[in-house]
């Protein structure tokens, strides 16, 4: 996939206006999930963003995720169709397995996703919150290419082995919660780099994440000011020693453990 460096994470967004505004200021990747309960809201925002005719549907990557009770072989198709209907799209650009739990069975779930690709309902398959051995199994079972692995990634939680696995096998890493729920402002290394660049800690955290190939970040934002700031953060050029200083932070804050 050709994901832009920064997309919009929508967990907790319950108003279509921020989604429409995000598209108007340049976002081209919208991320939601069935468990967020806001696919309809994201769909409304997408429709509003496309309404003026300056943006084509094909320009926007619309991604959602199957929750753990959607993963039995006979549930994957109906759940994906419901998500597409709520989002108001004919096809889902990227459909993830949200977590490898519940009804997840790689030998049943992943072939069901392959069938949706063959049918044209799903364009790309992704997984989320997987361990390296689970990624290996998914790569073995899937006929479709694995397009992306979505994982928590921020200055307080960073697993280099997941990035190395992605590089080795040629798929994207999508970093959720790149601002650590606002905690990046408490990280000395991030604050120091931010001061050197006259930037915010949030901008530095996004720049640090997107400096790591092949990472795309999906911070959540609701205000137009924050939407602009997050999108521009990928253009902040950090020096190798600044990236290394943040890499060296002791990581203790996983926000969304199993």
Please give the positions annotated as active site: 36
Pick the closest to residue 202 from 225, 215, 222, 219 (CA basis).
219
Question: At what angle are helices 201-210 and 188-197 packed, to 10 degrees?
Answer: 100
DSSP character string of 114-164: HHHHHHTSBS-EEEES--HHHHHHHHHH-SSPEEEEEEE-BTTB--HHHHH
Rounded Cα gap, residues 258 and 243, in angstroms = 28
Rounded Cα gap, residues 91 and 101, in angstroms = 25
């Amino acid at each position: 996939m050709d994901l832009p460096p920064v997309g919009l994470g929508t967990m907790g967004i319950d108003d279509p206006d921020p989604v429409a505004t995000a598209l108007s200021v340049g976002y081209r990747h919208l991320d939601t999930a069935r468990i967020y309960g806001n696919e309809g809201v994201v769909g409304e925002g997408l429709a509003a963003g496309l309404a003026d005719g300056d943006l084509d549907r094909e320009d926007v990557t619309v991604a959602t995720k199957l929750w753990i009770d959607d993963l039995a072989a006979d549930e994957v198709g109906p759940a994906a169709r419901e998500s597409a209907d709520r989002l108001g799209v004919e096809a889902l650009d990227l459909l993830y397995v949200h977590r490898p739990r519940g009804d997840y069975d790689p030998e049943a779930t992943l072939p069901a996703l392959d069938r949706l690709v063959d049918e044209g309902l799903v364009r790309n398959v992704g997984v989320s919150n997987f361990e390296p051995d689970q990624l290996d199994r998914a790569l073995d079972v899937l006929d479709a290419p694995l397009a992306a692995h979505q994982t928590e990634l921020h200055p307080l939680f960073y697993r280099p082995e997941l990035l190395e696995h992605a590089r080795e096998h040629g798929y994207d890493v999508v970093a959720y919660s790149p601002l650590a729920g606002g905690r990046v402002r408490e990280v000395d290394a991030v604050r120091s780099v931010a001061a050197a660049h006259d930037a915010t800690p949030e901008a530095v955290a996004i720049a640090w994440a997107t400096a790591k190939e092949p990472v795309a970040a999906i911070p959540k934002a609701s205000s137009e000011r924050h939407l602009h700031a997050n999108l521009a953060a990928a253009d902040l050029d950090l020096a190798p020693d600044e990236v290394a200083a943040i890499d060296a932070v002791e990581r203790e804050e996983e926000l969304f453990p199993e």
